[in-house]
Amino acid sequence: MVPVTYYVALSAVLFIIGAMGVLVRRNALIIFMSVELMLNAANLAFVAFASVNNILDGQIFVFFIIAVAAAEVAVGLALIVAIFRTKKSIDVDQINMLKG
Amino acid sequence: MMTIDLILFLILAVVAIATALGMLVSRNAVYSALFLVLNFATVAVFYLLLGAPFIALTQVTVYAGAIMVLFLFVIMLLGTDELPERKVLNWQKPMAIFLALVLMAEGVYLIFIQKSASGLINNAPGADFGSPQAIGDMLFNKYLLPFEVTSILLLVAMVGAIVLTGNMKGGQS
């Protein structure tokens, strides 16, 4: 038997790695992948708690989160392609047109 | 006493963290995407261990299959797998690592010292728990409205993606 604490700790570690990826990397695509990693970490915590409490609602939540992530990826990648067409770069430091 | 469950968990946890770090540090975006595929597959195995077979297979088909293929497609379409390193904000990287360590310390405090989550994983749930039948039963009764809203969300995302990347012939550029 594995304590649920271990799963929550693993989920926290994956979330922190994702957050660090968003802050450290400058490639918009890798920042986006890090966001996916953070969503995945949240899903892992949901499923772990669903299992420990023997309630299925957590798994339904994960199902919805996966659907929303798929929609988010479609729109986000379309935005990145549109930005690349105008700026010829997806380095987030280059996208500073709103800077005064 | 190390049970087989715990050993399996530790091996998979090491793989999950190593692939996440690999995604973080790879210079080439294609390698990052492939590391992330491996990470999603590992998390799918965790779902199987946690008694969620339907969610595990959804994870493999939707995340590791559809979403990551979309990522790889865009990386190769744009040809931006490696960006030149440019330093604009020098203090940002050490600051980010420091803040991540602070967040990690808070997490360790809450999880292991305050013990805000407790209980053991039920590694022998009922045969029905997490099965497609049980998920479907809940999805189409208790969560019918969110399910329908999700379908509209997917439609909006599809229209949005087409509008953003389309050529807009006959309209303004």
pLDDT digits (tens, 9 = 90+) for B16-68: 999 999 999 998 899 999 999 999 999 999 999 888 899 999 999 998 889 99
Q: For residues A20 and A37, is the Cβ–Cβ distance under 8 A?
A: no
Q: Which residues of B touch A39 (CB under 8 A)?
A: none
Cβ–Cβ under 8 Å, residues A56 and B130: yes
Please count the other Cβ atoms lying within 10 Å of the Cβ belonging to residue B11: 11
Number of H helices and E strands in chain B, helices first, is 7, 0
d(CA A90, CA B83): 9
What single string gives the DSSP state of each residue in A11-29? HHHHHHHHHHHHHH--BHH
Confidence of residue B124 (pLDDT cuts 50, 70, 90): low
φ and ψ at residue B26, rounded to 5 degrees: -65, 135
Contacts of A80 in chain B (CB under 8 A): 74, 78
Which of A1, A20, A67 lies closest to B24 in CB terms? A20
Instruction: Give which of A39, A34, A31 is closest to A83, Cα–Cα.
Output: A31
Q: What is the dihedral of CA B131, A42, B62, A30, to 10 degrees?
A: -160
Beta bridge partners of A91: A27
In B, which residues are within 8 Å of A49 by CB distance? 117
Mean pLDDT (chain A, rounded): 89
- A10, A78, A90 ranked by CB distance to B16: nearest: A10
**Interface contact B32, partner A, CB < 8 A:** yes
Please say if the pLDDT value at position B172 is more than 60.
no
- Strand pairing partners for A3? B120
Which of chain A's residues have a Cβ under 8 Å away from the Cβ of B62?
Answer: 66-67, 70
Which has the closest alpha carbon to A60: A75, A72, A47?
A47
pLDDT (tens digit, 9 = 90+) per residue, A82-92? Answer: 888 888 888 88
> What mean pLDDT do residues B135-160 have?
93
ipTM for the complex? 0.91
Identify which has the larger pLDDT, B92 or B56.
Answer: B56
What phi and psi, each to the nearest 5 degrees, are found at residue A69?
-65, -40
Task: List helix spans (H) across A25-98.
Answer: 28-53, 57-87
Q: Which domains does chain A have, with CATH numbers?
A: 4-98 (1.10.287.3510)
Predicted pLDDT of residue B44: 95
Phi, psi of A61 (to 5 degrees): -60, -45
- At A69 the pLDDT is 92
Instruction: Mark yes or no for CB contact A73/B71 under 8 Å.
Output: yes
| 3-class SS of residue B120 | strand
Better-predicted residue by pLDDT, A53 or B61: B61
Q: Is the per-residue pLDDT at B170 higher than 60?
A: no
Average pLDDT over residues B96-122: 83
Q: In this predicted model, which residue has the larger pLDDT, A99 or B79?
A: B79
Q: Which residue of B has its CA nearest to A76?
A: B161
- DSSP state for residue B152 in the 8-state scheme: H
Amino acid identity, position B77: L
Task: Name the amino acid, one letter, at B17.
Answer: I
Percent of chain B topping pLDDT 90: 47
Q: Is the pLDDT of residue A1 over 60?
A: yes
Contact in structure between B38 and B19 (CB atoms under 8 Å): yes
pLDDT of B173 above 50:
no
Q: Could you tell me the pLDDT band of residue B12, with boundaries at 50, 70 and 90?
A: very high
Mean pLDDT score across all residues of chain B: 86
Structural domains of chain B in order of their starting residue, each with its CATH number: 1-82 (1.20.120.1200), 91-173 (no CATH)
pLDDT score at B168: 62
Rounded to whole angstroms, how far apart are CA atoms A45 and B120? 14
- From B63, B71, B26, select the one nearest B42 (Cα to Cα): B63
Q: Among A71-80, B91-100, B148-157, whose mean pLDDT is lowest?
A: B91-100
- What is the per-residue pLDDT for B1? 55
pLDDT(A11) > 60? yes
Decide if pLDDT at A26 tops 70: yes
Percent of chain A with pLDDT over 70: 99
